[in-house]
Chains A and B, each alone.
Chain A
């Protein structure tokens, strides 16, 4: 069981500080997140045997808040997809209280939904990327899985905020979490994107409608909202994501670290063979596609960047009209464990990837959207940097749902 979930378990006794919000909490991080002295292979043959020389900022901050680090959970190659990922299982199986994993197209939220736990992807720029062995720098986000919403809030408070080792964080850092940032008692509204609703099967739709009725039952106004160009989200993510991935995987060239193929006659051959042996099939296809946009179809990439700006603008406007945008986190039919081509991955993550394109915060709630296909997860998406408000709204919804039983 462990070996299926963890690729490294810390056997040294922890010397943790006895103070802090996370004292007594057991945490795991995905193998894409650097822990000094631990193998940080990110699920890729490209990094076989690679040992991190420094803690990621999020790891340092977990420890500073008193959490004890149990181990490294298995990861899909460079966090791309969910094949063999261990974070959801580690939390659901009670091996740890919280798990950190990267979310590039919705992996953390999909893992949480599948495992029936809470999953939170913060706003892009709330959490330092230093020490994340990522794939798509403008979309990768360190996310949190836990069985309790309170643990998500505590971990988020511990790991968030400015870091001079990640210059892409906004300056000055957004305000810190405070109770007053919550919604108070004011009436709340939730929006459902029309195209998202229309894309659901009848089974999914029935499960989702049931969740919406529950929200209305506790006084949340739910309405359908139009979203121009919503159908562009997957292709925009696909083009920009693959271009950035192609660049960020350039460092896995076998020159200084990672895997190098034996017996090459010159360095071109060394590159070709090392990289051929390093990457798995879906990632290879993705990188090849990104290189094609870089070298041959640059105008397509530029167009995708322009559409991305429009989509970000649309999202902003929506959040002026509603407090949260809601959707299921996954399709009933999506089997993340089998998605093994770029096309299958984009199909499986179609409901989660918009938030990676826009950088918005999303919380996935378990147990509210269920059908024969299992827990589909209810996604609540907030405004960029509206993380506190979003967590506050989720807290109020859960309280009121419990109150009405």
Chain B
């Protein structure tokens, strides 16, 4: 395969904003409800109705734009993107084509080789979502049903510059973008749940050239993984076209997750965009913008740096703690209870998050509150329990409201650290297992493990392992 070609990739990302209501009416934004429940004369676009733009959508769109370091434009406006399709109740979609809300942002990503890259964001604009079509058969007649619950849902479209060069970078970029926007609280950004859709524009060119060749748009990816797979497939497909001397034409292709290929769907359609005469122009005063800006939290990158400086975490641990805003806040709450921050980070990453994921909970909904976890980790630090007991208690702290003390006492989890108690246990174990003692003394170090296991069992797992080993090795001499 020709190694002297590189791919040029740009992404168009649609993100559904977290809003109580739709963008141009007051219908609840719950597209998953029973079909056509959340509709009104405006979003059904009955004659005589006018769009009433919703400030909440503007605020969330500004937050998402700020999370990508964009410049918010003082003036923006809505246009009508004209096309005819049954999912579009009025023959045009309200979108900001000529005067977008925000421009010139960027996002830094680290590629597979650890190199930092800046991916530029061309623009972020607001638009309304369209209705959902459901295709069924009534007897032998194919019918298309229209569900207007989604019509008018508030979205932003994020358009990158063609700064990505391979599928790995595209996936990493999306992960960073999701993290940034989720931090801002403006969207859930879940491809699986349909609150984020990604289209990719892919073209190839001789490595080192700065020309832009005909691009192909790919749609219908339903996870970050499939975005990567689809881009990788498309790059190879285009390279083969090049080798075979087939021209590449501008068109749209669909990713087929079953067959893992892209296949042509249609020619790329660009409808006209006409300024909408009814939605007033949006003028953003600097006071208002400053006020919205104060609602933007500390962003993940700065936060991770602070965690390194302030809590002495390694950068990797800090980055893990900052992967989600709620997790970072949880970590901080635990660390601020006076627990060793590294221990807190290790336990949150290694134990708490996997456990919660398994139980379908989040740090904000679980009974495993920061102070309960901090109490548990303090006991571990003070050697009052050992780590296997701690893991067991963790499960009980999540599963009930019982106070930590009660769980520890009633479960008899307290670690046995009294030397004379442990001496007695060791004596008994050595007495009961003469052959293992014999083996050990012949040099079979495995036997020590067996004897330790026996002793741990005898204390029902509550022995302080460090002390026990000390006594055991001393007695085995």
Is B363 an interface position by the 8 A CB rule? no
- Among B15-23, B40-48, B300-308, the one that faces the other chain is B40-48
Chain A residues in the interface with B (C-beta under 8 A): 34, 40, 42, 47, 50, 52-54, 56, 129-134, 137-138, 164-168, 243-244, 246-247, 249-251, 253, 255-257, 267, 271, 294-295, 298, 301, 305
A247 adjacent to B48 (CB under 8 Å): no
Q: Which of A130, A138, A167, A257 has the most CB of B within 10 A?
A: A167
Say yes or no: A253-B84 contact (C-beta < 8 A), given A168-B277, A294-B272.
yes
Say yes or no: A247-B89 contact (C-beta < 8 A), given A167-B50, A255-B146.
no
Q: Give the dominant DSSP class at A's interface.
A: loop
B280 adjacent to A298 (CB under 8 Å): no
B144 adjacent to A267 (CB under 8 Å): yes
List 13 contacting pairs A-B, 8 Å CB cutoff, sorted by A. A56-B48, A167-B50, A167-B52, A167-B278, A168-B50, A168-B278, A246-B82, A250-B92, A256-B44, A256-B146, A257-B46, A294-B82, A301-B274
Is B167 an interface position by the 8 A CB rule? no
Is B86 an interface position by the 8 A CB rule? yes
Is B49 an interface position by the 8 A CB rule? yes
Is B279 an interface position by the 8 A CB rule? yes
Out of B41, B86, B277, name the residue touching A137 (CB < 8 Å).
B277
- B230-249 interface (Cβ within 8 A of A): none
Q: How far is the CA of A243 from the CA of B91 in the complex (A)?
A: 13
Is B53 an interface position by the 8 A CB rule? yes
Q: How far is the CA of A243 from the CA of B84 in the complex (A)?
A: 15
A138: B residues at CB distance < 8 A: 277
Besides the known contacts A131-B48, A250-B90, 18 further A-B residue pairs in the complex with CB atoms under 8 A apart? A34-B48, A47-B47, A53-B41, A53-B46, A54-B41, A130-B48, A137-B277, A164-B52, A167-B51, A167-B53, A168-B278, A247-B80, A251-B47, A253-B86, A255-B86, A256-B89, A267-B86, A298-B272
Q: How far is the CA of A229 from the CA of B346 in the complex (A)?
A: 76
- B42-69 interface (Cβ within 8 A of A): 44-53
CB distance from B15 to the nearest CB of A (A): 25
Q: Which of B41, B47, B89, B275 has the most CB of A within 10 A?
A: B47
B48 adjacent to A52 (CB under 8 Å): yes
B45 adjacent to A243 (CB under 8 Å): no
Q: Looking across the interface, which residue of chain A has its beta carbon closest to that of B91?
A: A250
Q: How far is the CA of A26 from the CA of B393 in the complex (A)?
A: 81
Q: Looking across the interface, which residue of chain A has its beta carbon closest to that of B88?
A: A250
Say yes or no: A251-B277 contact (C-beta < 8 A), given A50-B47, A54-B41.
no
Out of B50, B52, B82, B280, name the residue touching A247 (CB < 8 Å).
B82
Q: Looking across the interface, which residue of chain B has its beta carbon closest to that of A44?
A: B47
B275: A residues at CB distance < 8 A: 305
Q: Mark B271-287, 1 if CB is under 8 A from A, else 0.
A: 11011011110000000
Q: How far is the CA of A132 from the CA of B47 in the complex (A)?
A: 8
Out of B41, B146, B271, B279, name the residue touching A167 (CB < 8 Å).
B279
Q: How far is the CA of A134 from the CA of B44 in the complex (A)?
A: 17
Q: Looking across the interface, which residue of chain B has its beta carbon closest to that of A169?
A: B280
Q: How far is the CA of A336 from the CA of B272 in the complex (A)?
A: 34
Out of A131, A164, A165, A247, name the residue touching B91 (CB < 8 Å).
A247
A301: B residues at CB distance < 8 A: 274
CB distance from B338 to the nearest CB of A (A): 54
CB distance from B195 to the nearest CB of A (A): 26
CB distance from B131 to the nearest CB of A (A): 9
Out of A40, A168, A271, name the residue touching B84 (CB < 8 Å).
A271
Q: How far is the CA of A56 from the CA of B359 in the complex (A)?
A: 53
Q: How far is the CA of A132 from the CA of B49 in the complex (A)?
A: 8
Across the A-B interface, give the 7 residue pairs with the lowest CB-CB distance, nearest first.
A250-B91, A138-B277, A294-B272, A137-B277, A133-B47, A251-B90, A131-B48
Out of B41, B46, B82, B279, name the residue touching A250 (CB < 8 Å).
B82
Q: Which of B48, B49, B53, B277 has the most CB of A within 10 A?
A: B48
CB distance from A403 to the nearest CB of B (A): 44
B274: A residues at CB distance < 8 A: 243-244, 247, 294, 301
Q: Which of A138, A244, A247, A257 has the most CB of B within 10 A?
A: A247
Q: How far is the CA of A56 from the CA of B280 in the complex (A)?
A: 20
A249: B residues at CB distance < 8 A: 91
CB distance from B276 to the nearest CB of A (A): 8
Say yes or no: A167-B272 contact (C-beta < 8 A), given A53-B41, A250-B90, A255-B89.
no
B280: A residues at CB distance < 8 A: 167-168
Q: How far is the CA of A109 from the CA of B271 in the complex (A)?
A: 37
Out of A34, A166, A251, name the residue touching B50 (CB < 8 Å).
A166
Q: Looking across the interface, which residue of chain A has its beta carbon closest to that of B51?
A: A167
B82 adjacent to A40 (CB under 8 Å): no
B47: A residues at CB distance < 8 A: 34, 40, 42, 47, 50, 133, 251
Q: How far is the CA of A166 from the CA of B52 in the complex (A)?
A: 7
A34: B residues at CB distance < 8 A: 47-48
A54: B residues at CB distance < 8 A: 41, 48
Say yes or no: A253-B91 contact (C-beta < 8 A), given A40-B48, A167-B51.
yes
Q: Looking across the interface, which residue of chain B has its beta carbon closest to that of A246?
A: B82
- B426-440 interface (Cβ within 8 A of A): none
- B262-278 interface (Cβ within 8 A of A): 271-272, 274-275, 277-278
A246: B residues at CB distance < 8 A: 82
Q: How far is the CA of A96 from the CA of B84 in the complex (A)?
A: 42
A52: B residues at CB distance < 8 A: 48
CB distance from B85 to the nearest CB of A (A): 8
Say yes or no: A130-B277 contact (C-beta < 8 A), given A250-B91, A295-B272.
no
CB distance from A133 to the nearest CB of B (A): 4
Out of B51, B91, B271, B272, name the residue touching A251 (CB < 8 Å).
B91
A134: B residues at CB distance < 8 A: 48
Say yes or no: A250-B53 contact (C-beta < 8 A), given A167-B279, A244-B277.
no
Q: Mark B368-395, 1 if CB is under 8 A from A, else 0.
A: 0000000000000000000000000000
Q: How far is the CA of A47 from the CA of B280 in the complex (A)?
A: 28
Q: How far is the CA of A295 from the CA of B272 in the complex (A)?
A: 6
Q: How far is the CA of A130 from the CA of B272 in the complex (A)?
A: 26
B52: A residues at CB distance < 8 A: 164-165, 167
Q: Looking across the interface, which residue of chain A has its beta carbon closest to that of B41?
A: A53
B144: A residues at CB distance < 8 A: 267
CB distance from A134 to the nearest CB of B (A): 8
Q: How far is the CA of A243 from the CA of B92 in the complex (A)?
A: 12
B89 adjacent to A251 (CB under 8 Å): yes
Q: How far is the CA of A34 from the CA of B80 in the complex (A)?
A: 24
A165 adjacent to B50 (CB under 8 Å): yes
A137 adjacent to B278 (CB under 8 Å): yes
B91: A residues at CB distance < 8 A: 247, 249-251, 253
A167: B residues at CB distance < 8 A: 50-53, 278-280
Say yes or no: A129-B50 contact (C-beta < 8 A), given A168-B277, A250-B91.
yes
CB distance from B108 to the nearest CB of A (A): 38
